[in-house]
Structure 1
Amino acid sequence: MKNITDYSGKCVLVLGLAKSGYETARLLKKLGAVVTVNDGMDLTGNQDAEELITEGITIVDKEHPLSLLETNELIVKNPGIPYSVPILQEAEKKAIPIITEVELAYQINEGTTIAVTGTNGKTTVTSLIGDMFSHSSKKGLLSGNIGFVASKVAQEAEPEDTMITELSSFQLMGVQSYRPHIAVITNIYSAHLDYHGTQDEYVKAKMNIFKNQQSKDYLVFNDAQRELLELYTVNSKVIYFSTVRPTNGAYIKDDAIYFQEELICRLNQIVLPGKHNLENILASIAVCKLSGINNEAIIATLTSFEGIKHRTQYVTTIDGVKYYNDSKATNTLATKFALDAFNVPVHWLCGGLDRGNGFEDLDDHVKCVERMYIFGQTIPKLIDFAKKHDINYEMCHDVKDAVSKTAKFTKHGQVVLLSPACASWDQYPTYEVRGEDFIQQVKSME
């Protein structure tokens, strides 16, 4: 890693422990900073907190005292903590810089940076790119929102390596100097309005991914949404991908995928299911071609990559009923893709955190829905949706309860689909935990 001196002797507040806070605190300590970790939870008995204390790091828990701002010159915050909390609002008044952990990771990374964001598809695109790198002679390191803390991965990156980082809008709000050589925006739709307040603020956060790019850098962007990009100044070279027309990047023509007029592969070679995944594949191919990955490596991925856990993941078949886990569908667009993937009767498990959105986007996508199993904060809205479309429904306590109730109604040849169209945080800490709950309950029925 780059042995930077910017933090030597500087008092830094790490706001929020979790995985990223733990790694951030250790890195800052290594860089010579005087580190304090603050978390609103009671950290008594927390192993990570105890380890940090032994390393000479101060822990302040149970509250966010404003007195911490009297001695700290910089805040590195957990992405999930909104800027509306009092300690951050007061820090902004005092002009104390606030960054997220990926900014710190970028500063020490010796290698090249690829950054991927978007409302949907970013995890799949990040994984596809990583897989294509793995089939080549180049080394790609997955990091960020995909589950590997960026500041830890960056410490291991060599100059010839490439960090492939999945970024959320929460992380991108803390960008200052972050400059990926290749940035990707898969798509932008309405999401996280409870955090950002307005759609404009959400879009602005996503667009931060390219704000520091220069003429030698690339922005890979969805051609179907190029009008969004026209509202911003872009200094990098924009490479578009499209499923409907030729572009200056990756596109589909005559049942085949091309990149800048070069044939890459035929569509019938691809094993990853779902029309929506074609956009993810095109974005990934564009990135990899710009990175010098050969076609053989790209094709090796396209002919073997079947998808990611919690994303329309096939779980099992019981008495002729197929069960699919799409817990990652935390918004209506993702659920739309999942519902459209089936042409047999679907028993749809849905609901979760109420972010203020409606479900009208799904009006034209429930023709195959046999029955709805509704849980979470959005129960009232989804009941109204079910009545609107004359769909039978069951009110459920949680995902396990919903799976149990499907047994009474499912028939051979039908599908049970968990695709919540909502975030999990009203009942589950993450969508992964929600998905595992589904899988475990399904397996218990075998």
Structure 2
Amino acid sequence: MRVNTAYRNKKVLVLGLAKSGVNAAKLLHRLGALVTVNDKQKFDDNKEAQALLDEGITVITGSHPVELLDEGFELMVKNPGIPYSNPMVQRAEALDIPVITEPELAYSVSDSTWIGVTGSNGKTTTTTLIGLMLNEGEGAGHAYDAGNIGIPVSGVVQKATAADTIVAELSSFMLVGIQTLHPHIAVLTNIYEAHLDWHGSRENYVKAKMRITMNQTADDYFIMNWDLPEMHELAKQSQATIVPFSRQGAAGARATLTDGWLCFDGERIIEADALQIPGAHNIENALAAIAAAKLSGVANTAIVAVLSRFTGVKHRIQYVQTIAGRKFYNDSKATNVEASTVALSAFHQPIVLLAGGLDRHLPMDDLLPLIQAHVHAMITFGETAPLMETLAQQAGIPYQRTENVKTAVPLAFAQSNPGDVVLLSPAAASWDQYPNFEIRGDEFIAAVQALAESEEA
């Protein structure tokens, strides 16, 4: 971390805690700022706020009092999830108080090289692959994954040196709040419809994504998905050197799928069949990661080693185990129909699908063609179980309702045959039964392990 005295004695409000807020407050406190933290959760139930108070940081909890902004603050560091329509944020802007997000704060004190990754889908997998490839290589420094992947960048920058690389997953929410953040390599995996309720329009959402390249120059690289025509126009907004990747043979791409091989600048690197992560979308993620690794000087042998053993990010079409010829995959992160369509398209084998969860009263019809094509049995649970069963009826496949993910696993095994895939891809959020998708996925993994033990007994 480089010395930055700009925050010394500066009055800063950190709005919203969670991991990013806690780490931002601690970093600012270390830099000598006069830090106040404001979080809506009540103090008695707010362990994060209690810990910060013990460190000498001013803490205000239980509400967001707009009048707090009249106390001479010079900067607001906003939790990325808090929208700009929030009265606190609007008041800050009315008072000309700069509003940034935690990655911008982290970048301002970082002396590491940055690789930034954004996109509607594939961010976490691509970020993880790039970090693994850089660390598999023989470079002098270490690569740290951070950002929206669940590791606050403001914590990582305090240990990362000038020889290191920070591979930051940057959500659109984070990117709206950057000013100087300047990745040497930026990656835009894709752009689809997402978070329009937060951004207000697709145009605003795309603008947020493109902020990843706004400070880049011709000495930097912008890796883009050339299979999406929109990218060709968006590339014109960047000053960086454009590095396209393509799974579908788009002209001009440098990272490509060619004759069954993943290639860079025409050089074969690894056969697509050697990847341990299934699906066309993961070929795209791998191509983006290969481009970033090659531009960083990583040898082919290191790239191949990573792609040959990487079985997926936890809860994202994650391979769990093979039991009696059935492969079990955990895709608990599939909290909507779009994510589950990706998962169902990823496999050529017959699928027993475990699905259901929070009912947001959204249509499920887009799943039907994929269920008809790939699924031969379904186990349902949660509030959307009736909706999933309607799809099963329309597809003409058997289904069975059960209590939860734990009880679904043995039922799915009973419905499966050797050579099948047993896939948890709920197509719904977890909150009707679980605090988050991670706990839901962990229960699935534990149930699969228990099944394996019972089969071995």
Q: 1:120-153 CA distances to partner (integer Å, 9 max, x unpaired)?
A: 2111111111111111122211111222211111
> How far off its partner does 1:104 sit?
0.7
Aligned pair 1:210/2:216, yes or no? no
In the TM superposition, what is the alpha-carbon distance from 1:371 to its structure 2 partner?
A: 4.1
Q: Is residue 150 from structure 1 mapped to residue 162 from structure 2 by the alignment?
A: no
Match of 1:301 in 2: 306
Letter in 2 for 1:346: V
Decide whether aligned partners of structure 1 residues 442 and 253 sit closer, same or farther in structure 2, where only a CA change above 3 A counts: closer
Which deviates more, 381-390 or 158-167?
381-390
Residue 78 of structure 2 corresponds to which residue in structure 1?
Answer: 77
Identity fraction in percent: 47
Alignment of 1:39-438 (within 5 A): 39-44=39-44, 46-71=46-71, 72-138=73-139, 139-231=142-234, 233-245=237-249, 247-317=252-322, 321-340=326-345, 341-352=347-358, 354=360, 358-367=363-372, 368-375=374-381, 382=388, 385-386=391-392, 388-390=394-396, 398-400=404-406, 402-403=408-409, 406=412, 410-413=415-418, 414-425=420-431, 427-438=433-444
Q: 1 or 2, which has the higher helix percentage? A: 2
- Give 1:370 shift: 3.3
Number of aligned residue pairs: 444
Distance in 2 between the 1:427 and 1:75 partners?
Answer: 36
- TM-score, reference length from structure 2: 0.88
> For the structure 1 residues 361 and 177, does the alpha-carbon distance in structure 2 shift closer, same or farther, using more than 3 Å as the test?
farther
Offset of 1:204 from its aligned partner? 2.4
SS at match of 1:203: helix
1:236 positional shift: 1.1
TM-score (norm 1): 0.90
Tell me the SS of whatever aligns to 1:230.
helix
Which SS does the other structure have where 1:157 is aligned? Answer: coil
Structure 2: segments with no counterpart, 5+ residues:
none
Q: Which amino acid aligns with 1:198?
A: S
After TM superposition, give the deviation of residue 76 of structure 1 in Å. 1.0
Instruction: Classify the secondary structure of the residue corresponding to 2:180.
Output: coil
User: Which amino acid in structure 2 is aligned with residue 352 of structure 1?
Assistant: L
Q: What letter corresponds to residue 283 of structure 1 in structure 2?
A: A
The CA RMSD over aligned residues, in Å, is 2.7
Deviates further, 344-353 or 281-290: 344-353
Q: Deviations over 1:395-426 (max 9, x none)?
A: 6665446547647x624334432112344456
Q: Are 1:349 and 1:416, in contact at CA under 8 Å, matched by a contact in 2?
A: no
Q: Return 5+ residue gaps in structure 1 as ranges.
A: none
- Distance of 1:334 and 1:68 partners within structure 2: 41
Asked if structure 2 preserves the Cα contact closer than 8 Å seen for 1:256 and 1:263, the reply is yes
| Equivalent position amino acid for 1:91 in 2 | A
Query: In the alignment, is the contact (CA less than 8 A) between 2:74 and 2:97 conserved in 1?
Result: yes
Distance across 1 between alignment mates of 2:371 and 2:313: 24
Q: Which of 426, 439, 443 is residue 445 of structure 2 equivalent to?
A: 439
Amino acid at match of 2:308: T
Whole-angstrom CA distance in 2 between matches of 1:126 and 1:184:
9
Residue aligned with 1:214, SS: coil
> Displacement, 1:373?
4.3
In 2, distance between residues paired with 1:26 and 1:273?
Answer: 40
Amino acid in the other structure paired with 2:201: T
